[in-house]
């Protein structure tokens, strides 16, 4: 009898260990999706407050202290457990809630752009603080979107006792491609089954396969020579600045012999102190971008060789350090397909005449092209949904995002949501104009509905994640294996932007959004929405 009972326990135990969660009937899942979409709609006010608040912080990469503290507080109040300072980055963190599988990561970037400070809702250049950083990329909107979705899905998971873990994480210093490869190296995603990432755009869309963009390495070359009196004894000096200039000349000759898909650009981060002292130290910071790992690596090696050549010509020495890296983007098919169904259900926001008027005025202001690169007419805000796009057939190269490093390790998609105006130049003050207006708020709410309903899909239909790994293992990484550019001990470049934020934070602080006093940030700044022309 006793043996039979232990056998029964043993069988029961092994059943529990191997049992797959039963798929939940579609009708039930559909009802929860409807419920969660209504719940997100009802929280539109929360979305506006979060979006406006992060907009007002305007923090550059690695300096996202206010943004992180603010978002962490909201997540803690909603039952998430926070791990701070992950991957050696003071502003990075991971928020977790739930138990067991599926284990789903939800992320977005949070940093802003140098010299992009701009008042929202006005169709002319008007910085909040002259020369200060600002959200000229729209990274103030993505995490609010994700947080709103996660909080509402969590309520359903709790009530229905659905197993699953939600992990929310910020893309720190995305403009420096400075965090995500480090997260992968440090094992932050090792238990994750799938990742939903969001990025501001001007339509509601998702794609899968090769995204057509470039990966990169971000490298600073530091030259050292010796100083001398520039007039009294210039023959005794070894100019590190000469080395920087010669390296740039060398690289600009090299361009002719690179593939047309490359992008490379540099800024001089140290050009010496004053003209009468031969610069003993100088530095130049390059981004080397290409479409494949091999081509990025080859540019990286060319860069080092040219730097060594410049050092030899000037009798200086050179060392280099890796500050950031990203792989070319490739995204998951199964999750993208599930997400696209939800995109069709949610649709684009209903734009008001004011929203459209602002968009057209901004397009005029920035001399927007008549059509985008895919041939869509640019005229006001998007009113027709993007199609679901698969792998690009051809690309002549483009920007980068280190979300790719996550996507090469865990099935990942990027939801683009319509919080910005089509036809803006990107990384520009004009890209901030929409980002604390009803355009951004509506785009975030619709994006949040898509994320929330896709989460319900993943929690109720295990096949989406099984298929996602099948694509990941048997298609995406079948021939291309992820090789990181990071070494085991490459530190994150957390020192970047420290001085700029120290300079501007005291002034920016005066303009932090106060939702206890003002309904919106536009109201706080005294802006009539929309203001289409500058009044003298
Ligand atoms: Zn971005």
Question: In order along the chain (536 residues), what is the average pLDDT of each group of 10 residues?
Answer: 63 56 85 98 98 98 98 98 98 98 98 98 98 98 98 98 98 98 98 98 98 97 98 98 98 98 98 98 98 98 98 98 98 98 98 98 97 90 96 95 98 98 96 98 98 98 98 98 97 98 98 98 98 86
How many Å lie between the centroid of ligand 1 and the Cα of residue 278? Answer: 39
134: CA distance to ligand 1 center in Å?
A: 13
C-alpha span between 157 and 455 (Å, rounded): 10
Is 206:414 a contact under the CB 8 Å cutoff? yes
Q: How far is the CA of 20 from the centre of ligand 1 (A)?
A: 38
Q: How far is the CA of 347 from the centre of ligand 1 (A)?
A: 23
Please give the distance, rounded to the nearest whole angstrom, from the Cα atom of residue 175 to the centre of ligand 1. 7
Give pLDDT, residue 480.
97
The 10 Å CB-count burial string (b at 16+, else e) for 36-73 is bbebbeebbebbbbbbbbbbbbbbbbbbbebbbebbbe
How far apart are the CA of 116 and the centre of ligand 1, in A? 14
CA of 428 to the centre of ligand 1 (A): 12
Distance 170 CA to ligand 1 centre (A): 12
pLDDT at 248: 98
Encoded tokens for 276: 């009468």
Residue 342 CA to ligand 1 center (angstroms) comes to 23
CA of 11 to the centre of ligand 1 (A): 51
Q: Compute the distance from residue 494 Cα to the ligand 1 centre, in Å.
A: 18
CA of 225 to the centre of ligand 1 (A): 38
SS3 assignment, position 77: helix
Token output for 126: 């008007």
How is residue 483 written in tokens? 């090789």
pLDDT at 298: 98
For the whole model, what pTM was predicted? 0.94
Residue 177 alpha carbon to ligand 1 centre in Å? 10
CA distance readout (Å), 344 to 142, 213, 333:
20, 25, 17
**Can you give the pLDDT at residue 281?**
98
The protein residues having their C-beta less than 5 angstroms from ligand 1 (an ion) are: 137
Q: What is the pLDDT of residue 535?
A: 80
**23 C-alpha to ligand 1 centroid (Å):** 36
**Gap from CA of 366 to ligand 1 centroid (Å):** 19
Q: How far is the CA of 501 from the centre of ligand 1 (A)?
A: 19
CA of 183 to the centre of ligand 1 (A): 18
Q: What is the per-residue pLDDT for 2? A: 58
CA of 401 to the centre of ligand 1 (A): 7
Coil, strand, or helix at residue 97? Answer: strand
Distance 456 CA to ligand 1 centre (A): 26
Residue 280 CA to ligand 1 centre (angstroms): 36
Distance 139 CA to ligand 1 centre (A): 6
| Alpha carbon of 500 to ligand 1 centroid (Å) | 20
In the beta sheet, which residues pair with residue 197?
107, 414
Distance 426 CA to ligand 1 centre (A): 9
Could you tell me the distance, in angstroms and rounded to a whole number, from the CA of residue 109 to the centre of ligand 1?
7
CA of 77 to the centre of ligand 1 (A): 28
Nearby residues of 13 by Cβ (< 8 Å), 6 or more positions away? none
| Ligand 1 center from residue 137 Cα (angstroms) | 6
CA of 460 from ligand 1 middle (Å) equals: 31
Residue 455: HSE in the Cβ half-sphere, 13 Å Cα cutoff: 36
Which one, of 322, 95, 31, 330, lies nearest residue 209 by Cα? 330
What is the spatial distance between Cα 387 and Cα 344, in angstroms, rounded to a whole number?
A: 9
CA of 322 relative to ligand 1 center, distance in Å: 20
């Amino acid at each position: 009898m006793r043996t039979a009972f232990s056998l029964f326990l043993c069988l029961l135990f092994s059943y529990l260990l191997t049992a797959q969660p039963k798929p939940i009937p579609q009708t039930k899942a559909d009802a929860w999706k409807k419920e969660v979409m209504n719940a997100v709609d009802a929280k539109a006010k929360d979305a506006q407050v979060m979006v406006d608040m992060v907009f007002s912080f305007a923090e550059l990469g690695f300096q996202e202290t206010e943004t992180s503290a603010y978002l962490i507080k909201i997540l803690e109040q909603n039952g998430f457990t926070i791990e701070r300072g992950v991957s050696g980055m003071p502003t990075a963190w991971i928020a977790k809630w739930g138990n067991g599988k599926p284990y789903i990561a939800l992320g977005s970037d949070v940093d802003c752009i140098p010299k992009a400070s701009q008042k929202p809702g006005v169709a002319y250049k008007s910085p909040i603080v002259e020369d200060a950083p600002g959200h000229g990329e729209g990274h103030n909107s993505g995490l609010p979107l994700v947080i709103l979705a996660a909080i509402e899905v969590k309520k359903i998971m709790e009530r229905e006792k659905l197993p699953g873990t939600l992990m929310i994480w910020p893309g720190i210093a995305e403009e420096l491609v400075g965090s995500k490869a480090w997260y992968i190296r440090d094992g932050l995603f090792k238990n994750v089954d799938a990742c939903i990432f969001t990025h501001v755009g001007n339509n509601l869309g998702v794609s899968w396969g090769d995204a057509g963009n470039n990966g990169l390495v971000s490298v600073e070359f530091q030259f050292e020579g010796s100083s001398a009196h520039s007039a009294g004894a210039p023959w005794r000096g070894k100019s590190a600045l000469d080395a920087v200039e010669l390296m740039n000349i060398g690289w600009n000759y090299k361009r002719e012999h690179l593939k047309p898909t490359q992008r490379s650009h540099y800024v001089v981060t140290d050009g010496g102190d004053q003209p009468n002292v031969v610069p003993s130290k100088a530095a130049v910071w390059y981004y080397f971008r290409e479409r494949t790992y091999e081509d990025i690596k080859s540019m990286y090696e060319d860069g080092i060789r040219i730097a060594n050549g410049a050092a030899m010509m000037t009798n200086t020495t050179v060392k280099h350090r890796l500050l950031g890296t990203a792989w070319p983007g490739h995204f998951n098919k199964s999750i993208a397909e599930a997400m696209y169904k939800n995109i069709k259900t949610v649709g684009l926001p209903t734009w008001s005449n004011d929203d459209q008027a602002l968009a057209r005025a901004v397009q005029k202001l920035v001399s927007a092209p008549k059509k985008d690169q895919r041939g869509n007419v640019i005229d006001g805000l998007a009113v027709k949904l993007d199609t679901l796009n698969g792998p690009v057939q051809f690309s002549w190269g483009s920007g980068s995002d280190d979300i790719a490093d996550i996507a090469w390790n865990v099935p990942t998609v990027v939801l683009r949501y319509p919080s910005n105006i089509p036809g803006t130049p990107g990384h520009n003050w004009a890209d901030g104009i929409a980002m604390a207006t009803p355009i951004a708020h509506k785009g975030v709410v619709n994006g949040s509905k898509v994320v929330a309903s896709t989460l319900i899909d993943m929690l109720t239909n295990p096949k989406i994640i099984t298929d996602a790994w099948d694509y990941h293992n048997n298609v995406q990484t079948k021939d291309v294996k992820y090789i990181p550019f990071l070494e085991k001990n490459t530190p994150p470049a957390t020192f970047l932007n420290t001085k700029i934020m120290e300079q501007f934070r005291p002034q920016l602080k005066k303009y932090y959004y106060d939702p206890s006093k003002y309904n919106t940030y536009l109201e706080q700044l005294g802006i009539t929405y929309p203001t289409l022309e500058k009044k003298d």
